[in-house]
Structure 1
Amino acid sequence: MSSAPSTSLQDIISHAKEYGFVFPSSEIYDGLQAVYDYGQNGVELKNSLKSVWWKAMTQLHDNIVGIDASIFMHPLTWKASGHVDGFNDPMIDNKDSKKRYRADQLLEGKAEEYANAGQQEKASALLAEMGRLLGAEDLAGVRELIIAEGIVCPISKTSNWTDVRQFNLMFSTQVGSVAEDASLIYLRPETAQGIFVNFLNVQKSGRMKVPFGIAQIGKAFRNEIVARQFTFRMREFEQMEMQFFVRPGTEMDWYASWKEQRLKFHKAIGLPAESLQYHDHEKLAHYANAAVDIEYKFPFGFREIEGIHSRTDFDLKNHQELSKKKQQYFDPEINQNYIPYVVETSVGADRLFLAVFCNAFTKESDGEKERVYLKLHPALAPVKAAVLPLVKKDGLAEKAQEIVKSLKSSFRTVYDDNAAIGKRYTRQDLIGTPYCIAVDYQTMEDDTVTIRHRDTTEQERVPVSLLKEKIGYEVSLERILESI
């Protein structure tokens, strides 16, 4: 079979909903923009991605441990981190369409147009100028640049723009039993600060020596004004972050090392090298002295799935100043106290899910018949094996259920006897099940079954006694971990 035309984002969204991966949140009430629920297959895939990331961090590295910090934190945490004063997006409205846009994304889109037209120098110059204006907080200059570049609203096709304004992205709420006594607190906009405020707790209780890392998976919340592109940009999302504490002066070596290690991880879970690239930041965040994104080629272009940042000592130093509690580490090797520098790796679990799903979605055609399947790494597939009796009679169904029972404690196995076996194969292909086990009349004679392989549709005869070992080996997360 030859590959069919390229996949659109709408293909992905439709498939995700139809086959139980992602649903619009509270859809019976017409949904809530930029909020999604993971269905029965989506949650399995997402949990597998979180599990392999967690193991890659905490199991493969002797000097990385994990925590699970609260979503609610003392409000001064966000003052120290810079989020209260500086966690803003520059927004601009088109007066004719009444639509709101992120000013930086309009300019990045124009730069992408230049790059696609082979005008790389022009693209770089535009991004550099945008970075300079935003860094200087020259919002009037940003508006002038948008107009000078001839950027128009995609809906009204006019450049009738308002001034650029900053919007803080944090959700606020109140804590306290009586409204008058309630204190303003925030839903965390990132998971990193939960790690920083626990730096000394982990270091002392675990007797950790620099360099060491703290990993965390957790929900974060951002009031995105312009949320789009399915699960790529959501208001409630999940981060997989690791903060690596190092001796000042060594951070750039560790930055280079983690940059390389994280790209290797994405390749190990099945994302192809040609669909991945590094993108160095033109404009650095206030806390960083180096930053790079690992980008994946989505149907809507290359976009960030992970950021690697050298955060210096910004966070711990600010928490020390505001809390009046020392955030220092005594390094016995150099007999010195210091605030460690930090190298951060931060992956969006939802973005990684979307990248893996887009990459797996496969359409093939032989000119007459089209085949659609999810080419997921066997260790990530929601269902690892499906057991299908050829017919329901003559003891085949009972034998198939017996096989399911023998396998399901080792890996997720399902039973399906509904419709012709060809339709059942297709049903499993559509959710990415790597192995279908057919139970037929020969099974009743010699206790062998046919394994059908999802990607090739090839079949092989295997004794029932070898199924657990054979399939178990292929679907184990070890297959991914050993290649990192």
Structure 2
Amino acid sequence: MASADVVTMDKIVALCKRRGFVFPASEIYGGIANTYDYGHYGVLLKNNVKAEWWRAMLQDRDDVVALDSAIIQHPRVWESSGHLAGFSDPLVQCLGECKKRWRLDHLQEAAVERGEDPSLVRCPQCGGELSEPRDFNLMFKTQIGTVADTGSTVYLRPETAQGIFVDFKQVLAVSRKKPPFGIAQIGKSFRNEITPGNFIFRTLEFEQMEMEFFVPPAESQTWHEHWMKARFDWYTDLGVREDHLRLRPHEQDELSHYSSGTSDVEYLFPIGWSELEGIAHRGDYDLSAHQQGSGEKLEYFDPQTRERYLPHVIEPAAGCDRATLAFLVDAYDEEELEGGDVRTVLRLHPRLAPVKVAVLPLVKKDGQPELAREIRDSLRRVGQTEYDEGGSVGKRYRRQDEVGTPWCVTVDHQTLEDRTVTVRDRDTLEQERVAIDDLPALIAGRLAQPWRSPKA
């Protein structure tokens, strides 16, 4: 069972806006439904999430190569993949006062959870009757060229995977790889969601971290099991509490048309268990579809066995924004200090923390600021650093706690005498005196150590 938690989505949203992690886009014009901008700390955190994904896919392996495919693909890509015909959600509209549109499947799922008859759902906002459902394609259309006509219609990609499949032959030819091997990419995708919501969990534009692993058909089940474990372990290795994670196999009626088996890595958000990542066994559906649609042979020829085959595909597909949100939620903590004061702290894995070290002069005089900046500069190559001299040192500690900075280095009067500083640990609040010259090695060593959340 998951342990009790103080975090709520309202607290996460408030912290993200207060500290500049994430805030509504075009807010001075009233914003637009579920589009968000990432501020300084949000960019650093999200980049660290992506860097750890690349580390797991490329740096720690020899059987995956990188790709960055175009957002706008030839329209026939989406025809062959089935997105034009089948990438849709059941849309209903309230016939009562509010006239809002809803995804019927979401309303029915919520009714089942409440123990109600899903065939009798009504508008959750005003209680009005709902229209008959109709299919709503989730892809955004746009035009290329100077004249908007039928021949110029293209689409913003709803997933990054198809760019990998249509580049399979080219990558295979130049990468000197053979199945089993993977092609990985991170990139923006766009979906015209009917009911976006829950902060950055579901948005109109989002970033995906997807890898397609091409395998001999006889090895596909073994590799599916391998990637389910590898992807679950990625989250726990980065500090997510294991009792807040689960690997849930899809029921038969949940499976996508291309999948013979999919399991989701789910996290226990304040909104309930929700998907972070799917690991799907796609078979040869995609390569077969694009081979037929393009007329290009996409088979692999094994020179040793003289066998020609379409590889099967195992796809771990993660949402970067959802992963970032899960790391934020899992890290959020409140701690009561002496005197009844409450400290808000993000207990992020140090490798994910936006800032690794903050350097704070105790006072803004006597040469302390100059020496603090010198120390900051010496630590830049170890990780992202920050210099902070505004307000009392206690308030500066609190600011750094709220953005998840694991270590604060304080320069004081003793520093000027013996070139030692105080290093404060975010999680334990312990402080130790360390020689300035030893700081880079100390911080680098701590970043390399395994880490477990104090909340676990």
The TM-score normalised by the length of structure 1 is: 0.89
Match of 1:358 in 2: 329
Structure 1 spans left out of the alignment, 5+ residues: 115-125, 127-144
Match of 1:201 in 2: 170
104-113 or 461-470, larger mean C-alpha shift: 104-113
CA-CA distance at 1:225 after TM superposition: 0.9
CA-CA distance at 1:479 after TM superposition: 5.2
Q: Is the 8 A contact 1:313 1:342 kept in 2?
A: yes
Q: Is the 8 A contact 2:382 2:443 kept in 1?
A: no
Aligned-residue RMSD, C-alpha: 1.8
Match of 2:447 in 1: 475
CA-CA distance at 1:465 after TM superposition: 0.9
Amino acid at match of 2:260: N
Structure 2 spans left out of the alignment, 5+ residues: 452-456
Q: Structure 1's 304 and 181: CA in aligned 2 closer, same or farther, altered over 3 A?
A: closer
Amino acid at match of 1:61: R
The superposition leaves residues 153-183 of structure 1 with CA deviations (integer Å, 9 ceiling, x where unpaired) of 322235x221111100000111113445851
The superposition leaves residues 122-181 of structure 1 with CA deviations (integer Å, 9 ceiling, x where unpaired) of xxxx9xxxxxxxxxxxxxxxxxx633xx434322235x2211111000001111134458
467-476 or 235-244, larger mean C-alpha shift: 467-476
2:292 paired residue among 306, 321, 331: 321
CA-CA distance at 1:100 after TM superposition: 1.8
Give the secondary structure class of the aligned counterpart of 1:249: helix
Distance across 1 between alignment mates of 2:429 and 2:48: 24
Match of 1:167 in 2: 136
Distance across 2 between alignment mates of 1:473 and 1:182: 58
Amino acid at match of 1:207: R
Match of 1:154 in 2: 124
Distance across 2 between alignment mates of 1:381 and 1:475: 10
Amino acid at match of 2:105: D
Match of 2:226 in 1: 257
- 1:54-453 equivalences under 5 Å are 54-96=54-96, 97-113=98-114, 146-147=118-119, 150-158=120-128, 160-180=129-149, 183-282=152-251, 283-366=254-337, 368-453=340-425
Distance across 2 between alignment mates of 1:248 and 1:405: 53
Match of 2:454 in 1: none
Q: Is the 8 A contact 1:175 1:182 kept in 2?
A: no
Give the secondary structure class of the aligned counterpart of 2:217: coil
Q: Is the 8 A contact 1:410 1:468 kept in 2?
A: yes
Match of 1:131 in 2: none
Q: How many residues align?
A: 445
360-369 or 19-28, larger mean C-alpha shift: 360-369
Distance across 2 between alignment mates of 1:253 and 1:392: 61
The superposition leaves residues 252-297 of structure 1 with CA deviations (integer Å, 9 ceiling, x where unpaired) of 1111110011000010111110000122222211111001111001
Q: Is the 8 A contact 1:67 1:215 kept in 2?
A: yes
Give the secondary structure class of the aligned counterpart of 1:371: strand
Match of 1:461 in 2: 433
The superposition leaves residues 455-477 of structure 1 with CA deviations (integer Å, 9 ceiling, x where unpaired) of 1111111111111011122235x
Amino acid at match of 1:225: I
Distance across 1 between alignment mates of 2:249 and 2:112: 15
Amino acid at match of 2:58: T
Q: Is the 8 A contact 2:42 2:354 kept in 1?
A: yes
CA-CA distance at 1:6 after TM superposition: 2.5
Q: Is the 8 A contact 2:157 2:190 kept in 1?
A: yes
Distance across 1 between alignment mates of 2:106 and 2:445: 45
Give the secondary structure class of the aligned counterpart of 2:206: strand
170-179 or 232-241, larger mean C-alpha shift: 170-179
The superposition leaves residues 63-116 of structure 1 with CA deviations (integer Å, 9 ceiling, x where unpaired) of 1001100101000000111000000001222322322221111222233345xx
Distance across 2 between alignment mates of 1:240 and 1:479: 24
Give the secondary structure class of the aligned counterpart of 2:91: strand
The superposition leaves residues 354-395 of structure 1 with CA deviations (integer Å, 9 ceiling, x where unpaired) of 100111111122582111011111111111111111112211
420-429 or 325-334, larger mean C-alpha shift: 325-334
Question: Identity of counterpart residues, as a percentage?
Answer: 48
Distance across 2 between alignment mates of 1:173 and 1:100: 23
CA-CA distance at 1:415 after TM superposition: 1.1
Give the secondary structure class of the aligned counterpart of 1:350: helix
The TM-score normalised by the length of structure 2 is: 0.94
Amino acid at match of 1:153: C
Distance across 1 between alignment mates of 2:191 and 2:429: 44
CA-CA distance at 1:219 after TM superposition: 0.4
Give the secondary structure class of the aligned counterpart of 1:65: strand
